[in-house]
Chain A
Amino acid sequence: MVSRYDVELIALTKRYGESLAVDCISLRIPTASYCCLLGPSGCGKTSTLRMIAGHEAITEGDVLIRDANVAGLPPTRRGTAMMFQSYALFPHLSALDNVAFSLKMRGVTKAERHRRAREFLDLVRMADYAARLPAQLSGGQQQRIALARALIMQPSVFLLDEPLSALDPFLRVQMRQELKRLQRELKISFIHVTHSQEEAMALADLLVVMEGGRIRQSGTPREVFERPASEFIARFIGGHNVLPWKNGRIAVRADRCTLGAIDGRPRVAGRVAVIEYQGPVVRVALTTDDGGEAAALLSDEVFYRQSVGVGDPAILSWPAEAAHELMQ
């Protein structure tokens, strides 16, 4: 029977001495999905990834990969491959030999392993750089080599630890598309650890937000963005105003807010504190009368029709359906 899940985490826990890095998390990653583990540093996302890879001992709980419990197995026998944050390319080997490394360890002949390695260099569009040493490659090129080196193992699950954080912003967007393309073509699951919500939203089929060693919310990026479960998630995901409302708090999407009172719509009053021109939108941030903060993302068109300045009193209103209550 074909497994419905590539990876299942069952009550997975990691303790370093007294401190709890991962606190009893459970997660199912459907077959061939792009899963992003998103969270601030120290939230346990990297520890989780390393436990799946087998580079970190599991304190309690289990890791299932395609229905097989791999909790006690060494990294090679898990069917995973990992791309390290630093890429960890071997500095003394050429790009080709780096990619061919796993085949060499398995005793594949030189001619055969070089042939296969060239195929994977082709896959990541690095065929012209086969003879280069890692130090002779740019960051983006090194990353492609690291990708090819991991993918040649034909893993059933590919693990990526902050793969884009070392790249400049332009290259980051380009590699992001490349990763998504590879995932679709190879039809395997990618588990991608990141602290960038923008990256996670762009890539993920399944977005898992972690904090304090726990999973705080998981779902499609749209589900998470439209219904952030808590104040932490609303703030971390960005684009939301968190406002006190009646006996609790609500999250309101900043892009649904407008300036000026509209009959029948909920509102807050305050003064304009900051105006940021961002190209397609202008962000107008208010200090509300009760000392809080709220912002509206206005299209430039709308903004320039209204002409507000810093220090002006202003009212922020939104359609009722753009807000929802947050858990305490």
Chain B
Amino acid sequence: MTISSGKSGGEERPWTFYALAALFGAFLAFLYGPMLVIYVLSFQGPDGGVTFPMVGVSTSWFADIFKPGQMANIPVSFSRSITLATIVSLSTVAISVAAGLAFRRPFAGAGLVFYLAVASLVMPSLLVGFGIGLGFRFLGLEPGLFTSALAAQLTWTLPFGLFAMFAVVNRFDRSWEEAASDLGANSWQRLRHVTLPILAPGILGVAMMAFTLSYDEYARTTLTIGAKNTLPLEIYALISSATSPTLFAIGTLTTAVSFLLIAVTLLIVFYTQRRRGLIRAG
């Protein structure tokens, strides 16, 4: 990242700089402020409520999540969400990598296929979910986590995966593959030893993106999920029925999971990129 320093030249910054900086500051406060409040309040004392002031500090609301009772469904729905997100992530990677490689060579109808796939992004999520749910009922199929909900989430993650892979594949030098063929690799060896390893950081990025998109998907999932809730659906149900700092604790915990995932992925990507010298150190 480069930050140009107007100051170093001894120049005065125009007033617009400060106006825009203030706007950006307000945006950050708007973005992170409420979340910060939630994280702080999740450590509310046992006698405190859902608003400030803090009445002591405790982790009792976190403990509450794992007690039997009202919150009993949280751990179960969490593991459902993780499982579903993993499957969504793997499917998205498999399909978008294959599509990304295929789209390098122009074929008849390539544009049409691409726009049809990407059109899903502009369709209202609720309608897509509604349509899939209805379709299942119409065909007499039971909607479920790994059938209709999986399909509904893929309609959301795949277009993103495609976009990302197109960008990744665009930077892929064709002569790497030609060199591999020249050096005696068959097409399978070429994919295994050259194409995939070189694309790996990008593929990892797509996997992570698909995972997080699935992990907090609500609109498409709610009408296709059937009887068993994912975590976002469960939390939404709780918000409308119960109000206690436990909700905040759940928020903090799930955010921690997301951040951990992102941090690990970024570390891996950064490390491999740096090893390959795409980011110059020092």
A and B from one complex: yes
Interface residues of A (CB under 8 A from B): 53, 55, 74-76, 80-82, 84-86, 88, 90-92, 101-102, 104-106, 133-136, 149-150, 153
- Number of residues from B at the complex interface, CB < 8 A: 23
Q: Is the CB of B183 within 8 A of A92?
A: no
Dominant secondary structure at the B interface: helix
A-B contact pairs, 21 of them (CB 8 A): A55-B178, A75-B178, A76-B182, A76-B183, A85-B175, A86-B175, A88-B176, A88-B178, A90-B176, A90-B180, A90-B198, A91-B198, A91-B276, A91-B277, A102-B183, A102-B184, A105-B183, A105-B189, A133-B275, A135-B278, A149-B183
Max chain A C-beta neighbours (<10 A), residue from B183, B194, B198, B272: B183
New A-B pairs, 9, CB < 8 Å, besides A88-B176, A150-B182: A55-B178, A55-B182, A88-B179, A92-B200, A105-B183, A105-B184, A105-B189, A105-B193, A133-B277
B197: contacting residue among A55, A82, A92, A136, CB under 8 A: A92
Tell me whether B181 is interfacial, beta carbon within 8 Å.
yes
A82 neighbours in B (Cβ, 8 Å): 178-179, 182
A135 neighbours in B (Cβ, 8 Å): 275-278
B198 neighbours in A (Cβ, 8 Å): 90-92
B181: contacting residue among A76, A133, A134, A153, CB under 8 A: A76
Dominant secondary structure at the A interface: mixed
Tell me how far the C-beta of A85 lies from the nearest C-beta in chain B, rounded to whole angstroms: 8
Interchain CA distance A86-B173 in the complex, whole Å: 9
Interchain CA distance A76-B178 in the complex, whole Å: 11
Which residues, 264 to 282 on B, are CB-close (under 8 Å) to A? Answer: 272, 275-278
Q: Is the CB of A88 within 8 A of B185?
A: no
Tell me how far the C-beta of A86 lies from the nearest C-beta in chain B, rounded to whole angstroms: 6
A75: contacting residue among B175, B176, B182, B200, CB under 8 A: B182
Interchain CA distance A102-B185 in the complex, whole Å: 7
Per-residue CB contact flags for chain B residues 180-207 toward chain A (1 = under 8 Å, else 0) read 1111111001000110011010000000
Q: Is the CB of B276 within 8 A of A133?
A: yes
Tell me how far the C-beta of B185 lies from the nearest C-beta in chain A, rounded to whole angstroms: 5
Tell me how far the C-beta of B205 lies from the nearest C-beta in chain A, rounded to whole angstroms: 16
Q: Is the CB of A84 within 8 A of B175?
A: yes
B183: contacting residue among A55, A85, A101, A133, CB under 8 A: A101
Q: Is the CB of A76 within 8 A of B184?
A: yes
Interchain CA distance A310-B69 in the complex, whole Å: 101
Query: Which residue of A has the minimal Cβ distance to B178?
Result: A55
Q: Is the CB of B185 within 8 A of A84?
A: no
Tell me how far the C-beta of A102 lies from the nearest C-beta in chain B, rounded to whole angstroms: 4
Q: Is the CB of B182 within 8 A of A81?
A: yes
B200 neighbours in A (Cβ, 8 Å): 92
Max chain B C-beta neighbours (<10 A), residue from A85, A105, A134, A136: A105
Interchain CA distance A134-B277 in the complex, whole Å: 8
Interchain CA distance A47-B169 in the complex, whole Å: 24
